[in-house]
Chain A
Amino acid sequence: MENNETSRDRPNQYTDTQTDMKTAEIATSLKLANPVLRSNAPLIELESVYKTYKMGAMEVRALEDINLNIDTGEYVAIMGQSGSGKSTLMHILGCLDVPTSGTYRLNGIDVGKMDDNQLAQIRNRQIGFVFQQFHLLPRLPAWKNVELPLLYAGERNHTSRREKAERALAAVGLKDRISHRPTELSGGQQQRVAIARALVTNPSIILADEPTGNLASTQADEIMGIFESLHQQGRTVIIITHEPDIANRAHRLVRIRDGHMLGDEVHQQ
């Protein structure tokens, strides 16, 4: 990805140090021996990743020979039609699933060999999910939904959890909707709560799966605007979509079809 390297005009110093600190912290929390600490390593490294599902006697190859590096601070869209393998790729990137073969290094740590508990910790600390269906818990007020990842992170201080949740909600423009339940919010607002929930643990990656799929176009614009500003703040944003309009807003477009990567292009905005 030579062209990527040149496209990044952000100063690397700050984010890389941050990444290394994060790696060390995670390695300690997962009790991993000898974590690979490379200050110039990409955030995400996929090396000849295959994913095969067994459906009865048949083997379905969902991903074949995927090689993809994503650096800290990039704004990437992964685009493909349904059945192309983009959801499988998203599951692997999000540590919801592990590759059948090949390696996936996140922050220099090989997550392919991790067990369920370690994967849960990686998801909790490194990845912020945004789903098409929002997936908010309907009985909880907005701030309690946002607080959930902090609970699983073992954050014991109630006040600090609430403060962090409120700050994340303010960051997506929902300062005055903190105590509303999801049913009292519009679709766009619900998705913004979900984005706040993804932000609250300050993860390495914001991973959004068809984030505008259930929204009217004006609300979709709002949401894409939020992702744009998150990117401007230096966050890594990955959006999985089948809509070219959405995909074209990202700064880098990875196309996928039938489990293969078709193209990887950078848009100068």
Chain B
Amino acid sequence: MRNTYLQFLQLVTGIFIAVLLGIHMVIMHLDAILGFFGVDVTEATSWESMIERAGQGVWAGLYIALLAFVLYHALNGLRGIILELAPSATTERIVTWVIIAFGIIAFIGGTYVPLALLAGQELS
């Protein structure tokens, strides 16, 4: 039963990721086409543009939400593939805990930086 809920969360996070990552991809990669429609997002990866977005709470919130959804979706997907290749109770225990630990560490690391930038911490 537990795996049913995990799989259902996989669908739900998938939908959120499609929307949020869709926005991210369009801004990062479709600058020439957006420019054609009069939206100027050139050099989204420049330091100034990145810091400007990082200083806005909405962007920080969206990125942190995206990080949470993506980490769940990616790691749960990987868990499914590994358990399909090597199904056993031991593998399941090890893989599940390693993935949970990795996910928490990645989430803390990935949340700390946007929060620090949002707080306007002086960077060298």
Q: Do A and B come from one complex?
A: no
Q: B residues touching A (Cβ–Cβ < 8 Å)? A: none
